[in-house]
Amino acid sequence: MEKKKLYFATGSRADYGIVRNYLRLLNEDEQIDLSIFVTGTLLSSEFGHQVELIYKDGFKIGAEIEIPVDSSDNKGVIHSMAVALDRFGEYFVSDRPDLLIILGDRYEMFSVAVAAAMDRIPILHIHGGEATFGNYDEFIRHSITKMSLFHFTATKEFRNRVIQLGESPDRVFDLGSLGAENCLNIDESMVSEEVKEVKEKYFVILFHPETLTGSSTCSQIQTLLSTLDKFSKYRFVFLGSNADTHSDVIREKIKEYVEEHKNCFYFENLPTSGYHYLLKHSLGLIGNSSSGLIEAPSLKTFTINIGHRQDGRIRGNSVLDVECEGQQIYDAIQKIISDGNKDNIVNPYYKANTARNYYEMTKHIFNYIESNSDYMQKQFYDIWS
C-alpha cells in the first residue's frame, strides 16, 4: 500500500510543542509519510532558531520556508503574510500532500491555509472554535476553519462553535487539548541545568501584545514590571514574547528590566519540557498566554491572566482574571502567595489519551478521503436544518 503523505506546517515554538507527541505517533506509523514544514520564528535567529528542536526530535523536515519576521507594526506582519502566501503557494504547486495539518491561529498559518485551500489540498485544523476577542488571532482562527475540511477541537463548546460556522458535524471531533495532556509527560532530559537552577518562590512571566483592543503595549508591560518591583523577595522568570505586532516592545522592556534586577531570569525560548518544568515548580504564571488557561491547570499551577487578550476562552478555577492595572495585579499575586491551595484545580481542556485519539482519528480521516471521491465538495451546514 502506498504511504499517505501527511504534512504539518509550523511557525512557532508553541504550536510545535503542542503537537510533538501526536506527531511521534504519526511518524511511527509505517503507512504514513510525515513531513514537517517549518517557517516563521522557528527559522529566526532573533527567536533562537528553534528549528533545531525538530531536527533533534528526529522528524523529517520537508522544507524550511523562510519569511521576514517583523513585529514592529502591522505593515511588517502583513508583509510576512504576503511572503508566506507566495512561497507556500509556489511550493504546493509541485508537492501536494494527501492531508495538511494546521494548528491554531497564527497569521503565517493563515497564509499557509490560503495557499493549500486554493490548491485543493485537504486541511485538518486543530484548536478551531475558540475565541480570543483581544487579538487578531480571533478572526484568523475562524477563517482557517472555513478553509479546512476536518477539525479537532479542544472542548464540546468549541466543537459546537465550529459547527455553528457551517462545518458538518461528522467532520468535527471534540478530542481535548494536546497541550493539556503534554504537561503530564515532562521529559526532564530536555530540561537544561540552567532551568533547574531556578529554585523555589518564583513566578513565570509570559506576556504578549493585545492587537485588537487598542491598548498601549508599552504602557501594559510597564504596568506589569512596576508591580513586580513590589515583590523583591520573589524571583521572576521571563520568557520571550511571540511575534505579534509590537512584541518587540515587550521584549526590549523585559530585557532591560532583567539586566537591572538580580532576582530575574530571561529565556528567549525553551523546549516544551523546559517550559512545563518551570510552570510545574512555580508559584504561578503571570501574563496573558493561552498556555495559562490550557496547560497550566494540568500542572496544578495558578494563572494570573492580565487584560483582554484571552477574553472568550473557557477557563478553569485556577485562573485569576485581572485588568492590566497595578493594584489588581498586586492583589492577585498576594492571593496566590497567601492562599495558593492547588488541590482542587481542574483543567476543562483535559481529556485522557488525547494524542492517541488524535492519531486514531487522523487514520479515520485518511480512510474517509480514500472512500469518498467527492470529499472536497464541502457544503455549508445550517444548524437549524
Judge if 327 and 205 occupy the same domain: yes
Judge if 107 and 235 occupy the same domain: no
* Residue 57: closest CA among 42, 47, 75: 42
Judge if 230 and 201 occupy the same domain: yes
What three-state secondary structure class fits 53?
helix
Q: What is the pLDDT of residue 245?
A: 87
Judge if 91 and 236 occupy the same domain: no
pLDDT in tens, 233-264: 999 999 988 878 899 999 999 999 999 999 99
Query: CATH no. for residue 274?
Result: 3.40.50.2000
**What total number of domains does the chain contain?**
2
pLDDT band for 211, please (50, 70, 90 cuts). confident
* Residue 123: closest CA among 139, 135, 109, 108: 109
On the question of pLDDT at 59 being above 90, the answer is: yes
Of residues 318 and 342, the one with the higher pLDDT is 318
Asked if 303 and 292 count as a contact pair (C-beta separation under 8 A), the reply is yes
Give the burial class of 345: count Cβ atoms within 10 A of its Cβ; 0-12 exposed, 13-18 middle, 19 or more buried: middle
pLDDT in tens, 68-85: 998 888 999 999 999 999
Of residues 214 and 150, the one with the higher pLDDT is 150
Decide if 21 is inside a domain: yes
Mean predicted confidence (pLDDT) in 194-199: 91
Decide if 345 is inside a domain: no
Judge if 246 and 109 occupy the same domain: no
Of residues 159 and 41, the one with the higher pLDDT is 159
Mean predicted confidence (pLDDT) in 117-129: 97
> 330: Cβ–Cβ under 8 A, 6 or more apart, which residues?
227, 230
| Cross-sheet strand order for the sheet of 202-206 | 264-267, 235-239, 202-206, 284-287, 302-306, 319-322
Mean predicted confidence (pLDDT) in 89-98: 94
Residue 66: domain span: 4-176+351-371
Q: What is the pLDDT of residue 46?
A: 80
Q: What is the pLDDT of residue 1?
A: 62
Decide if 344 is inside a domain: no
pLDDT band for 287, please (50, 70, 90 cuts). very high
Q: Rounded mean pLDDT of the chain?
A: 94
Judge if 26 and 151 occupy the same domain: yes
